[in-house]
Chains A and B, each alone.
Chain A
Amino acid sequence: MKRAGNRRGQATALTILTPVRPRWHLWLRAWFALARVLPLQRWTLLRLQRIHFARFALVSRLDGRRLHSRHLLFESNFNGNWHSYLEAFCQVFPKGMWGLWGSAWGWPGVAPVKGFKDWVERNEFEASHYWSAYPEATTRDILAALDTEPRIRALAQAAPDMDPERFEAAWADLVSAAVRAP
């Protein structure tokens, strides 16, 4: 309800900028490099199946000059409301949160969730314009669709040569697979 500018159909934007404690930027850079090679942390994040895309970026210069602290910019495109998204993160991804946002001056930790939500609220900025290429689709819709589409093509190719019984069975399998959430 609060941040109408951050919603577009099923998608919600979250943009956070936080000051990074001294030397923690080195830890973050190492973390980023590691995560590029080992997909572990991303995998946990993605298991929630609510994020389309998200990114972390370390900013050294703002407004053309170095500030006292580097800043961590986070932007995410996700589904569902702000409250349940942040709660879900605290519930299932606490270590990752510490690893990334633990770098921030004033980091409150993930428990209680209320403290974390208040901290996010203080550090987030509302989008003045937010756009999505497919606003009515959730991450799950898309994952299901990307899984289904090649199956449709496969059946379309094989169907002309199938007898009705075989087609019926293949059709049942296709619809079952299409309905199943990935």
Chain B
Amino acid sequence: MVWGFGAQQSAYMFVHFDDGPALMGELAGRVATAKFLPEQSAIVNVALSGAGLLELGVCRDEFPGELMDGMRVRAEMLGDTGPSRPEKWDPGFAAAGTHAVVTVSGKDDQAFKQLAAETRTLLGPQLVGEQAASMLGGNREHFGFADGLSQPSIEGLGPDTPGQGVPTKKGWRPLKAGEFVLGYEDEDGVRPPAPEYPLDRNATYMVLRKLYQDVAGFRRFLFDHEGADEAKQSELASKIVGRRHDGTSLLLDPEAPEQNDFRFGGDPEGMRCPLGAHVRRSNPRDALGFGARLSSRHRIIRRGMPYGEPLPGGETVDDGADRGLIFVCFCASIERQYEVVQTQWCNDGDAFGLGREPDLLLGGDGSARMTLPGNPPRFVRRKKPFVLTRGGEYLYVPSLSGLRALAGT
């Protein structure tokens, strides 16, 4: 799951075990492995919740506390409060007590539909819910921004693109694999804490969240602040996100070939890319001072996908349809990586000298202000969030041998 697959569609299938070990055995024969990945048009993978792992007979102490607690228990700390609180979550998405999430992804429509149908048959009555997702045109997400461009460069896995790794004096270096995959050395020079063999290698942790996007609300916000001037609306939106709609960085010339090769050190006051812009918060690079030492241990791999039909262009009245992003990320420590990004960089502004200001795009649960640096600075305020959490769970993704061990074979 760490390799990018380039899927166009996904189905997230929520499973409640009748016979967990047997199901793991069946799935072990079908899950994707890195070796055969490039040849396949559709793949299936499985991830287990804390509850699911207990059902399969593991010892609670072997796994991290946050996984065993589950996301619901930690919702308040994560900022899933007010309209984003668990009581308001979609009951069909990773409902409480979900044991596993089986993900079917496909590059080719026919192959995907076939594999999804086969998987449903395999799961039978153990399938208790499903969420569909599919790419929108141009790799965009529902607010209209190109997404998924910035991913960590990992040592030994895939190409090392400038700007994706850790900034160094001379350029960039890839991150240690152990930041994302158990069983390998991490940035601390050791193997990250892991469960007992054989669950301790080639495995990872997954964060799954259903994020509803109020597209009409976001568009109305832009109108309220900039009137009908599309260029100004676009500029304000770019300042909030930290990239232009086509994914180019605010710190680089739009024509520059390597759109990830930049640092924030040259923009310390946030005049070009605001201090609180979304991309600056989710991957601060060198913006926290002391080189990148304070951010390099908090990177995540994102593999999410939009869901729902797009709201027709120009429409500012909500149509009541469910749309947004199925957020998926992978890391070796949910608490150290994902939760730090979510709680300290997204829901709060202190790391950037912004007090309590949350990420205007997707942090906080109510009215929020964003400071746009300048002389004088400009303040924009949203009355309510543009993004609401509608569900989620923490999961463990086993390797093939791990899966066989859980099957009891």
Are A and B co-members of a single complex?
A: yes
Docked pose: A91 CA to B291 CA in angstroms: 10
Q: Is B22 an interface residue (CB 8 A)?
A: no
* B-side interface mostly: loop
Q: Are A112 and B188 in contact, CB atoms less than 8 angstroms apart? A: yes
Q: Are A111 and B350 in contact, CB atoms less than 8 angstroms apart? A: no
Q: Is A60 an interface residue (CB 8 A)?
A: no
Q: Are A1 and B77 in contact, CB atoms less than 8 angstroms apart? A: yes
Q: Is B83 an interface residue (CB 8 A)?
A: no
Given A91-B290, A138-B355, A180 and B350 touching (CB < 8 A)? Answer: no
Contact with B along A53-97 (1 / 0, CB 8 A): 000000000000000000000000001110110011001100000
Q: Is B2 an interface residue (CB 8 A)?
A: no
Q: Is A173 an interface residue (CB 8 A)?
A: yes
Q: Are A47 and B335 in contact, CB atoms less than 8 angstroms apart? A: no
Q: Is A171 an interface residue (CB 8 A)?
A: yes
Q: Are B190 and A112 in contact, CB atoms less than 8 angstroms apart? A: yes
Docked pose: A93 CA to B193 CA in angstroms: 24
Given A1-B65, A88-B294, A140-B353, A81 and B377 touching (CB < 8 A)? Answer: no
Given A92-B290, A112-B189, A175 and B269 touching (CB < 8 A)? Answer: no
Q: Is A141 an interface residue (CB 8 A)?
A: yes
Q: Are B353 and A180 in contact, CB atoms less than 8 angstroms apart? A: yes
Q: Which of A10, A79, A91, A179 contacts B377 (CB 8 A)?
A: A179
User: CB-CB < 8 A to A179: which residues of B?
Assistant: 371, 373, 377
B171-192 interface (Cβ within 8 A of A): 188-190
Contact with B along A137-164 (1 / 0, CB 8 A): 0101100100000000000000000000
Q: Which of B289, B298, B373, B374 contacts A47 (CB 8 A)?
A: B289
Docked pose: A175 CA to B376 CA in angstroms: 6
Q: Are A114 and B377 in contact, CB atoms less than 8 angstroms apart? A: no
User: CB-CB < 8 A to A40: which residues of B?
Assistant: none
Docked pose: A47 CA to B155 CA in angstroms: 31
Q: Which of A47, A84, A138 contacts B340 (CB 8 A)?
A: A84
A168 nearest CB neighbor, chain B only: B376
In the complex, the number of residue pairs spanning A and B with C-beta atoms less than 8 Å apart equals 68
Q: Is B8 an interface residue (CB 8 A)?
A: no
CB A165 to nearest CB in B, in angstroms, measures 14
Q: Are B269 and A180 in contact, CB atoms less than 8 angstroms apart? A: yes
CB A136 to nearest CB in B, in angstroms, measures 8
Q: Are B350 and A138 in contact, CB atoms less than 8 angstroms apart? A: yes
Q: Are B373 and A181 in contact, CB atoms less than 8 angstroms apart? A: no
A97-151 interface (Cβ within 8 A of B): 111-114, 138, 140-141, 144
Docked pose: A171 CA to B376 CA in angstroms: 8
Q: Is B297 an interface residue (CB 8 A)?
A: yes
Q: Is B327 an interface residue (CB 8 A)?
A: no
Q: Is B293 an interface residue (CB 8 A)?
A: yes
Q: Is B151 an interface residue (CB 8 A)?
A: no
B189 nearest CB neighbor, chain A only: A112
Contact with A along B274-298 (1 / 0, CB 8 A): 0000000000000001100110011
Residue among A1, A172, A173 with max Cβ neighbours from chain B (10 Å): A1
Contact with A along B294-308 (1 / 0, CB 8 A): 100110000000000
CB B22 to nearest CB in A, in angstroms, measures 35
Docked pose: A118 CA to B58 CA in angstroms: 24
User: CB-CB < 8 A to B354: which residues of A?
Assistant: 181
Given A81-B344, A83-B335, A114 and B193 touching (CB < 8 A)? Answer: yes
Q: Are B188 and A113 in contact, CB atoms less than 8 angstroms apart? A: yes
CB A140 to nearest CB in B, in angstroms, measures 6
User: CB-CB < 8 A to A176: which residues of B?
Assistant: 373-377
Q: Are A87 and B297 in contact, CB atoms less than 8 angstroms apart? A: yes
User: CB-CB < 8 A to A47: which residues of B?
Assistant: 289
Q: Is B30 an interface residue (CB 8 A)?
A: no
Docked pose: A144 CA to B340 CA in angstroms: 24
B354 nearest CB neighbor, chain A only: A181
Given A1-B77, A80-B344, A144 and B353 touching (CB < 8 A)? Answer: yes
Docked pose: A182 CA to B289 CA in angstroms: 13
User: CB-CB < 8 A to B88: which residues of A?
Assistant: none
Q: Are B376 and A172 in contact, CB atoms less than 8 angstroms apart? A: yes
Contact with B along A11-55 (1 / 0, CB 8 A): 000000000000000000000000000000000000100000000
CB B264 to nearest CB in A, in angstroms, measures 14
The 4 closest A-B pairs by CB, nearest first: A181-B353, A172-B376, A91-B293, A112-B190
Binding site for A on B (CB under 8 A): 65-66, 74, 77, 188-190, 193, 269, 289-290, 293-294, 297-298, 335-336, 340, 343-344, 350-355, 371, 373-377
If A80-B350, A87-B294 are given as contacts, then 10 extra A-B residue pairs at C-beta distance below 8 Å, sorted by A number, are A81-B343, A83-B335, A91-B293, A92-B293, A113-B188, A114-B193, A140-B355, A144-B355, A176-B376, A182-B353
